Structure 1
Amino acid sequence: MPNTKVLPLLEPSVDEGVVPCCPPLTERPFTAEEAETAARMFKALGDPVRLRLFSAVASHEGGEACVCDISDVGVSQPTVSHHLKKLKEAGLLTSERRGTWVYYRVTPSVLAAMGQLLAIR
């Protein structure tokens, strides 16, 4: 596997915590780096199983879900793990192992960044 740089959807900011990687689509043309970052996010969400998993985590009580609570999406457990890994690589999910289970979370700033990216100005 080639060594590729993973560009986060969000970047840390000293003053504001987390800021989106990219301006709204209608503000100006993307740079090559911004386009790669946004494309990686859209590619990750372009798969119906991944979109269902992302939605399950985002809508779960407390904004966090155990993999045991969201794995009923019609594919095998190894396939669920693969899709969750792709969502993490795209910067859309974070995870934390607690005992034998892994818990996934979509941070509110990710949802805000996605909303800003698609905002019309």
Structure 2
Amino acid sequence: MSNVRVLPVLEPDVATCCPPMTERALTAEEAVRTAAMFKALGDPVRLRLFSLVASHEGGEACVCDISDVGVSQPTVSHHLKKLKEAGLLSSERRGTWVYYRVQPAVLAAMGQMLASRD
């Protein structure tokens, strides 16, 4: 019997983050949540990691597949943790590896928030 433990995937609450910026002004609480997302993506390494996960085949990526971004493994882990804390990534441990995914709702919410009123 295997000792593998699958952790539940918690969906971040980003889908309900904010209305389109052209619809109305953000509330103070919405601005804090939105700033945390942009702050997390404001680092080039984090933005690259987010892009690697989002574009990876199957919609998820093992940390072993995305760790070659020019920084040490502990630094990669630090940046992935920051992306998770901002609600941009979720993760699941499978054996010795951690798999990361961007929830479709996260990308949809970000796109909607930045959409114009055309």
Q: TM-score interval w.r.t. the shorter chain?
A: 0.7 to 0.9
Amino acid at match of 2:19: P
Aligned residue in 2 for 1:87: 83
Residue correspondences, number: 106
2:23 is the counterpart of 1:23:
no
Q: Which runs of 5 or more structure 1 residues have no equivalent in the other structure?
A: 1-7, 11-18
Q: Which aligned segments of 4 or more residues in structure 1 are displaced greater than 2 angstroms?
A: none
What residue ranges of structure 2 are gaps of 5+ in the alignment? 1-11
CA deviations 1:48-103 (Å, max 9, x no partner) are 00000000000000110000000000000000000000000000000000000000
Greater percentage in strand: 1
Q: Given the alignment of the two structures, is residue 58 of structure 1 paired with residue 54 of structure 2, yes or no?
A: yes
Structure with greater contact order relative to length (CA < 8 Å, sep ≥ 6): 2
RMSD over aligned Cα atoms: 0.9
Alpha-carbon shift at residue 20 of structure 1 (Å)? 2.5
TM norm structure 1:
0.85
Separation in 1, partners of 2:39, 2:92: 24
Q: One-letter code of the match for 2:54?
A: A
- The TM-score with structure 2 as length reference comes to 0.87
Kindly provide the CA deviation profile for residues 12-61 of structure 1, in whole angstroms up to 9, marking residues without a partner as x: xxxxxxx4310111111100000000000000000000000000000000
2:80 is the counterpart of 1:76: no
